[in-house]
Amino acid sequence: MQARVLRVGVAGLGEAATEFLPGYHRHPHVRLAACADPRAPARERFVRDFGGRAYCDAADMCAAENLDVIVVATNHEFHRDPVIWAAQAGRHVVVEKPMALSLADCDEMIDACDRAGVRLLAGHSHSYDAPIRSLRRLIAEGSYGPLSMIHGWNFNDFMTRPYPDSHLAQSAGVVLNQAPHHIDVVRYLGGGLLHSVRAVALNRSVPTRPGFGAYACFLRFTNGVPVTLVYSGYGLFDSAELFGWYGEGGQPRQPTTNAASRGNFLALDDGERAERLDALKERLRYGSVGLGERAVMPPGWGKGGRPPTTGALPTKQPFFGLLLVSCDRADIRQYPDGLAIYADGGRRDVPVTGMPDARQAEIDELYQAVVHDRPLVHDGRWAKATLEASLAILQSSAENREIILRHQIALPEGN
């Protein structure tokens, strides 16, 4: 019997679209059938690349097209309404991280999908990375004893990339943009049920930028397992140095990237900075470049300071900084090809091969849920729990206290 193909509409063709459209296009169970974006060049490029129909407004696309799934990739603050429109039209939904900027918006999105009987998947998380899924399997098997600690450490140039100040203000800098990756990974590895967050968020190295560019967190799971997370996006040290100069997406990264990115930003004249950053950001959006193309950018910025993923396959495994997981009888960390296990007898390397990449795994999870009625792992309630912990970083830092979490959910059995 021929496998069902899901007809997918995309709401929002910004920079994120250049990242995920190739994965959706390559998947044998997906057809990119429609798009919605206010920018005419993006709509025209989508039709040239994939065919289908293009709309200015996501509500019109949801109502008019015979679609199975809507991918919501608008700016963070605009996720709620397209999700609700899609649900009301009977479409399943994939929403980019963070799911929303408030727990109240998460609740409205979840309720709308529940009422309509459609699936809501929160995509684009490093917990989909093949090494993370392999590490979760090792933990669940218990071959090295129970989980005892998790530590994550990521340093890059996020705050000096050509992002407009308004974008950083909406996401509190790195906290609501990057911490969801960090927290989703550790929740997935640890079983989901965090108990509390104690954190400090910082804005010191580039104080002219809104939001926070760094955080240091201590988290605890309900079973007592401790977690430390450290992130800095100020463009000084680069975690890629610990991975043989491979970047977050698994592509080679120049050792000079952080210094060049920071230099580019600090050289901007304050009077023209907003206009200049808006123009640079526009170059990175879908429609300004096509699949497999590179925007012409100052050295060190390139694709927002990141390696290009528009059509180019990575050469190594992706990572989100240094991740070190301790079980009772082994310490395990990522390295560029997979997992390094430090146990009695010394180090053993376990290459991760033959597994789908993160976007393929995301689509597979959605497909199994929609076509075969299997439970989602990264559903709306899971994403709400991740957002709760991310917001707790801000609250804990502001109030100088531990924040007890109230909306955590467990990883479904068998994962």
Tell whether 217 is covered by a domain: no
Compute the average pLDDT of residues 226-233.
Answer: 98
Does a structural domain hold residue 269?
A: no
Q: Is residue 39 part of a domain?
A: yes
Number of domains present in the structure of the chain: 1
Determine, yes or no, domain membership for 281.
no
Asked whether residue 415 is assigned to any structural domain, the reply reads: no
In a domain, residue 403? The reply is no
Provide the pLDDT confidence category of residue 312 given band limits of 50, 70 and 90.
very low
| Band of pLDDT at residue 124, cut at 50, 70 and 90 | confident
- State which residues form the domain around 120: 6-126+357-379
Give the model confidence (pLDDT) of 54-89 as tens digits: 999 999 999 988 999 999 999 999 999 999 999 999
pLDDT value at 307 more than 50: no
Q: What pLDDT score does 173 carry?
A: 97
pLDDT band for position 280 (cuts 50, 70, 90): confident
Q: Does residue 111 have a pLDDT over 50?
A: yes
Whether residue 16 is contained in a domain is answered as: yes
Residue 37's domain is classified under what CATH number? 3.40.50.720
For tokens 């068998």, the residue is: 414
Among 115-119, 269-273, 408-412, name the one with the lowest average pLDDT. Answer: 269-273
> Is residue 122 included in any domain, yes or no?
yes
Residue 195 has pLDDT above 60, yes or no: yes
Q: Does 330 have pLDDT greater than 90?
A: yes
What mean pLDDT comes out for the span 249-274? 90
Given a cut of 90, is residue 236 above it in pLDDT?
Answer: yes
Question: Which pTM does this prediction carry?
Answer: 0.94
pLDDT of residue 1 exceeding 60, the answer is no
Residue type, 25: H
Q: What is the mean pLDDT of the chain?
A: 92
pLDDT exceeds cutoff 90 at 41: yes
Q: Angle of helix 179-190 relative to helix 380-399, nearest 10 degrees?
A: 120
